[in-house]
Amino acid sequence: MLSNLRFFKSSFIVTLIGLAAAFWLGGPKAMFIAAILSVLEVSLSFDNAVVNATVLKDMDAVWRKRFMTWGMLIAVFGMRVIFPVLIVAVIAHLTPWAALMMAVSQPEQYAAALISSHIIVAGFGGAFLMMVFLKFFFDQDKDVHWLHVIESPLVKMGKMGGIEIGLCLILAYAFSTQLNTAEQLSFILSSITGIVTYIVVDGFGSLLGGEEGHDQTVVVRTGLSAFLYLEVLDASFSFDGVIGAFALSNNIFIIAIGLGIGAMFVRSLTIMFVEKETLDQFRFLEHGAFYAIGALAFIMFIGTFHEIPEVVTGLIGAGLIGVSLLASLHYKKHN
């Protein structure tokens, strides 16, 4: 147990610095809110850590390190500060600087503008995560099944080319019918953008070209492709958390600190899972994480017309992973 703490050394350092900064910005209350946000981020993104580990375990060590450094900066400052500001700038027809000034001087107005983008973000993020979920279970090379009665037929259906794209489009349309007419087009277009983004990112290695015989070329292609995939995946996971964080605070800096601390722990968990080969030790843990991603995708779609508390989202994800962990232990004991 103590040996595992080494994976979280940098996370604890960031936590101390972050909480001290939150205290400086707003006193004990701000520090408490930042701590709560960090815990919520970890609880909601545990399945993200497992999925990240499935990608990182096959990634070159250099690109893995880049994900933990550059990727960390993109995750904390890019996805949780800059990206929301850019969205508000587009929606409110402002310059990015004006949107940032709004966030600082008029936090209520900034929060309202950000929340108004929820349908667009939910359409994009939900569709991207749905593609991640469907691609895993329709994969013809998948030979380990947890819920065999469900997963075995899905693998057979995977022989139909593009079935996950068609199914995702059908689901997006079905959920769009629950929205009012003014919102339907925005939701459908953002969902299509999410699907296209997944297709491009998932196949980015092939788009880069190069000869398969050159090992360094292959490493760069697969490394960059996986890096981009993980960043978009993180964006899809994180943005709903950014919007939900405004229920606790309107201060974007407190929100960034809290969510940033949580993101750091998620990445530490990811590295621990990779280096300790956790996914190989727990046979169905990966399945539980992808089921949790599927559940999150449905929740994001449903959340466009019916509010679902974040605690419910977190409990569903944690529950699916917990059950898959118990199933893995049972399998390990009897095999």
The parent domain of residue 71 ranges over: 2-334
> Across residues 278-307, what is the average pLDDT?
87
Residue found under tokens 């974007």: 252
> Across residues 177-197, what is the average pLDDT?
91
Q: Is it the case that residue 217 has pLDDT exceeding 50?
A: no
Identity of the highest mean pLDDT range in 50-54, 174-178, 277-281:
174-178
| 160: DSSP letter | S
Identity of the highest mean pLDDT range in 167-181, 276-290, 304-318:
167-181
pTM of the shown model: 0.82
| Pair 264, 10: CB distance under 8 Å | yes
What six digits make up the tokens of 212? 């398969």
What six digits make up the tokens of 72? 């960390």
Q: What whole-number distance in Å separates Cα of residue 254 and Cα of residue 104? A: 11
Q: Is it the case that residue 249 has pLDDT exceeding 70?
A: yes
| Pair 93, 116: CB distance under 8 Å | no
Of 129, 241, 118, whose CA–CA distance to 194 is shortest?
Answer: 129
Q: What whole-number distance in Å separates Cα of residue 42 and Cα of residue 238? A: 11
CA 63, distance to chain mean position in Å, is 19
> Across residues 52-62, what is the average pLDDT?
78
Q: What whole-number distance in Å separates Cα of residue 326 and Cα of residue 210? A: 44
54 or 164, which is more confident: 164
Helices (H), 250-309: 252-275, 278-281, 285-302
Q: What whole-number distance in Å separates Cα of residue 118 and Cα of residue 301? A: 10
Q: What whole-number distance in Å separates Cα of residue 57 and Cα of residue 67? A: 12
3-state helix, strand, coil split of the chain in percent (to 5) is: 85, 0, 15
User: Which residues contact residue 42 at a Cβ distance below 8 angstroms, ignoring those fewer than 6 apart?
Assistant: 262, 265, 266, 269
Of 183, 147, 133, whose CA–CA distance to 292 is shortest?
Answer: 133
Q: Which pLDDT belongs to residue 219? A: 42
> Across residues 253-281, what is the average pLDDT?
84
User: Which residues contact residue 49 at a Cβ distance below 8 angstroms, ignoring those fewer than 6 apart?
Assistant: 266, 267, 269, 270, 273
- Counted domains in the chain: 1
Q: Which pLDDT belongs to residue 265? A: 86
Task: Give the model's confidence band at 205: pLDDT under 50 very low, under 70 low, under 90 confident, else very high.
Answer: low
Q: What whole-number distance in Å separates Cα of residue 57 and Cα of residue 61? A: 9
